[in-house]
Amino acid sequence: MPFPHTRDQPSPPAPYEPVGADIPKLHGAEITAVYYGQRQAGDFYDFIRVHPERVLFGLLDVAGGLEDTRTILSHAQNTFRTVGASLFATDDVNESDAMVELCLQLNRTVLEAAQGVHACPAFGGCYNESLGVVCYFNAGHIPGLVRDAVGTSELPATGLPLGLFSHATCDAPMVALAPSAALLLASRGVIEGKRHGDEFGFDRLKEIFRRSRGMMAKEICVSVLDGVRQFMETAPTHDDVTALALVREPSTSADPV
């Protein structure tokens, strides 16, 4: 497979598949992604260190089945890695401007690879380890969630999904992660898991995240996927089901708060 976190498997996979060994090590934080079962649709996630103090991450949800989205995902990953590494490489980069440009380039890539309109909700973020800040865009994706000592807040869409309009723009705000705070992203397949016509929904996702206080990044992801499976009372095979979490470590006396 041309993109490393989506792979064909000749035998039934383990229920929870974590990202491979290429995940960057973070200073004072950890990040990971986990998906349920075998890939069958257009979820894509990736991580890349773009600077000694910055890690770029993203979760894309390309509409369609795996065969229909394979080429789009391959081109999107190439743009994510090459353009992202270039935009965020310098010490004095304006991260918001760089994130807006990355979103524009990804949008163009999706349109060109699909040879036309092809909806692709996407969430991209750059975590600054020295500041504990995430600069992000949310292109029509399910809202991200941030949990800290105050409570749980949402990171709603800042623009339209990728792959719809060639000149669509997307804002790139910043959110600070206090020590012990966590950020969670979930794919559409999580929200749309059904039982007797009732959807798992965004509120259940928020409740699971709220209860996951103190968990590590992988544990948060697994708790979300396991919550979907328990709700559906069967293995989720309706779509890709993916969760991505970023958790900042508790502060120490040597850490700035």
Q: Where are the domains of the chain?
A: 16-248
d(CA 223, CA 160) in angstroms, rounded, equals 29
Q: Which two tokens stand for residue 127?
A: 């975590």
Sheet containing strand 174-176, strands side by side: 41-51, 54-65, 122-128, 133-139, 174-176
d(CA 86, CA 97) in angstroms, rounded, equals 13
The stretches of 88-154 forming alpha helices (DSSP H) are: 95-114
Kindly state the DSSP code that residue 145 receives in the 8-state scheme. E
Please name the CATH architecture into which domain 16-248 falls: 4-Layer Sandwich (3.60)
Residue 206 CA neighbour count, 13 Å, CB half: 13
Beta carbons of 132 and 179 less than 8 angstroms apart? yes
Tens place of pLDDT per residue across the chain (257 aa): 223 333 333 333 345 444 444 788 999 999 999 987 666 656 889 999 999 999 999 999 988 877 778 899 899 999 999 999 999 999 999 999 999 999 999 999 999 999 999 999 999 999 999 999 999 999 999 999 999 999 999 999 999 999 999 988 899 999 999 999 999 999 998 999 888 889 999 999 999 999 998 899 999 999 999 999 999 988 777 668 899 999 999 976 445 44
Q: Which two tokens stand for residue 184?
A: 């969670």
Residue 159 CA neighbour count, 13 Å, CB half: 27
The stretches of 187-244 forming alpha helices (DSSP H) are: 188-191, 201-211, 217-232
Kindly state the DSSP code that residue 90 receives in the 8-state scheme. S
Q: What's the full length of the chain, in residues? A: 257
* pLDDT of 40: 62
* pLDDT of 69: 84
* pLDDT of 255: 53
d(CA 250, CA 25) in angstroms, rounded, equals 17
d(CA 201, CA 244) in angstroms, rounded, equals 17
- Predicted TM-score of the model (pTM): 0.88
Candidates 112, 174, 104, 111; CA nearest to 139 is 104
* pLDDT of 252: 64
DSSP string, 235-248: ---SS--EEEEEEE
67: helix, coil or strand? Answer: helix
Beta carbons of 43 and 61 less than 8 angstroms apart? yes
DSSP strand E in 38-173: where? Answer: 41-51, 54-65, 122-128, 133-139, 144-147, 152-155
**Maximum distance among all Cα pairs of the chain, rounded to whole angstroms:** 54
* pLDDT of 39: 65
